[in-house]
Amino acid sequence: MPESKRAVTNLSIAMDDSFTDRSGNRRERTDWLTVVAFGKLAELCHQHLRKGRQIYVEGSIRVREFEPTEGGRFRRPEIVASRVQFLGPLPAETIVASADDPVATRNSEVSV
């Protein structure tokens, strides 16, 4: 963010869901959400996340309103991350990043 010189990272996450429809057929659905992280948490996400990496996200939902250059007005829900846990193929280590905790440890988690 240019005014505050604070790091910001936007990422999209896929949420898969399976359900049975009214006819009894098994269906799958994927919904996409935008996650926004700020500060040190944004820097850690930028360093450790790649396409296909599994994460656990905690945060608050907000609705961003914007007006594109073509006109009109859009509302888009997004999650403002307060904690991100990186899951998956890191060897013997899980990294946890939190926007609230200023202490950093490296045993099994990293807090920001």
For tokens 């040190």, the residue is 40
Tell whether 52 is covered by a domain. Answer: yes
CATH of the domain at 14: 2.40.50.140
- C-alpha span between 41 and 112 (Å, rounded): 6
User: Quick check: 68 pLDDT over 60?
Assistant: yes
Strand partners, 33: 13
Residue of 3, 10, 4, 16 whose CA lies nearest to 66: 10
Average pLDDT taken over every residue of the chain: 80
Residue 66 lies in a domain: yes
* 88: confidence class by pLDDT, cuts 50, 70, 90: confident
Domain containing 68: what range? Answer: 8-98
For residue 71, the model assigns a pLDDT of 77
86: in domain? yes
Do residues 78 and 60 make contact, with C-beta atoms less than 8 angstroms apart?
no
Q: Could you read off the pLDDT of 28-58 as tens digits, one per residue?
A: 999 999 999 999 999 999 988 888 888 899 9
pTM to 2 decimal places: 0.65
**How many independent structural domains does the chain possess?**
1
Indicate whether 3 belongs to any domain: no
Within-domain flag for 39 = yes
Answer whether residue 24 shows pLDDT above 60. yes
